[in-house]
Structure formats: C-alpha cells, structure tokens
Amino acid sequence: MAKPRMCPHCRAFIDPKSRVCEYCDEKVGLPSWKRPDPTKALGGLIAASHFTTFIILFINFALFISTMVLTSKFQGGSISLFGGIDGQTLFLFGAKDRFAILARGEWWRLITAGFLHGGVLHILMNTWVLFDLGAQVEDCYDTSRFLVIYLASSITGFLASMFWSSSLSVGASAAACGLIGAMMAYGRRTGSSYIWKAYMRWAIMLLVFGLLVPMVDNAAHIGGFIGGFAVGSMVGSPQYGSPIESVWKAAAGFAVLLVAVSFFFAYQLLSRALFS
C-alpha cells in the first residue's frame, strides 16, 4: 500500500492517487513520483524534504564511528562492527549522567546525549524511525520549527531520564518520540483524525517495544513525547511572509548554536581525558 501524501493547501494526509483533497476540496496535482525533475538537495542525491533529517543522521553516524574507534582503543585495538560502545567512551562523548549534570554542572549532556548511540542496532533503529518521521514533521512545521521541536524533545526526554534513573543514557529515540508527539499535536490542532490515529499507532508501537525490550530508556521516550506534543501544540503552522517566521529562524539558529556549544564542552572533556 502506497504511503499517504500531504495536501499542499490544508496539509492533511490524503490518498496518494487523489487529484482533489477530500478535506479542503482543492486540487493537489500529480503525486510526487509522477512529477518531472523533483527538487533535490546535494545535486539530486537527497530529497529536499529529507535534507535537515539527513544532516542530523550524518552527525549521529559520524559520532557513532568516533565512539567505535575510541572503544577499540580502550579495548586493545580491535574494532567490532556489532559490538557495543563502552560506558567510558559514552561518558566522555557526553552521555546523560545524573551526577555529572547535577553535581558538576555539565548541563550540555542533556543535548549531546541525543546524538550518541550505544550500538549498531541502536543507531539503525533510530535512523529508520527518524528518516521516516523527519521529513513529515518538516513538511508540517517547516525547517525552523522542526529543529526547535527536535532539540526540545531530546532535552525534555533526557531531563525525564535524569530524574528517573542515574544510569548512563544515550540515543535519538527521545527526539523521535517528540516528533511523534508533534505530529499528534498537529493532527489535533488541524482536526485531522487520520493524522492523530496514524501517529497514535506509532506511539503505541514504541511504548510496547520499550516495555518488551530490556535496556530501553522509557523515561526518555515518554519525556520526549510530552515535550514534542507540548512544543508542537504551541508553535503553530508556518505563516510564510509573516514577521513571526524570523523569530522561528532565530530560534532554530539558537538551537544549532546550543548543539555546537554543547559538543565543544564535550570535546574539552574528551581532550583532557585523552591528552592530559
């Protein structure tokens, strides 16, 4: 069954074969796969609607490879493709750690933890979920709001995790759950029961997965979902040409700066540990 596509007028999800939106009665034109020369990023390699998500995934994989290399260094030089990343490495790269955050003031771990992963299966699962959800959220909220929702969800997820457990925790799943929450907020705000129900199924699936699979940080998932739903309910829909869009662009820029500053602190910690 083909995936539903989004009406460019009312942004409701409709049958991919429809030429007229059943919600707003506007013409929607040809499906994307029938349009000539669709807009692409990176010289046609990546769909433009996936570009921001692709950048996030690229950062995740770059950090994962770096943590694999350092883990091999700590374990005597061997690299195992399917081995896990050791706790010392994750800590040095910025994993969530309650004591470090509260006692040492390393607040930036609430941000860096969302870009780290503990193993191959962990990063592949999150990549699958993010690649599927990211473009949909960006379509509904635009790039600026998407970045704010993504980072806010990750932070609220790891805040919940920090108060629930003192264990190390990493992963993009808190942000992914936030994207689900944001889409449910979008469905609620626009009155689309289709969107609400579709993402409710996503939420239930991830909740069941978290209950059945050991070592899953359910507090981060729930915190991320709540954060995404809350922010998604507040940010509204894009108003192109309105001065408010400049505010959201500034907020997105601040979010990117916050990530950069957080990883600068992580780099300082890592450098002291390795070279001092």
Active site residues: 173, 221
Q: What DSSP string runs through 158-212?
A: HHHHHHH--S-B--THHHHHHHHHHHHHHHHHHT-HHHHHHHHHHHHHHHHHHHH
The alpha carbon of residue 116 and the mean position of all alpha carbons in its chain are separated, in whole angstroms, by 12
What DSSP element (H or E) covers 130?
A: helix 120-164
Q: Find the distance separating the first CA and the last CA of the chain, reported in whole Å.
A: 57
Q: Does residue 39 come out as left (phi exceeding 0), alpha (psi in the -120 to 50 range) or beta? A: beta
* Residue 152, C-beta contacts closer than 8 angstroms, at least 6 positions apart: 178, 227, 228, 231
CB atoms within 10 A of CB 229: 24
Measured distance CA(44)–CA(31) in Å, rounded: 18
Beta strand 46-47 pairing with 13-14: unpaired
For 145, other C-beta atoms within 10 Å of its C-beta total 25
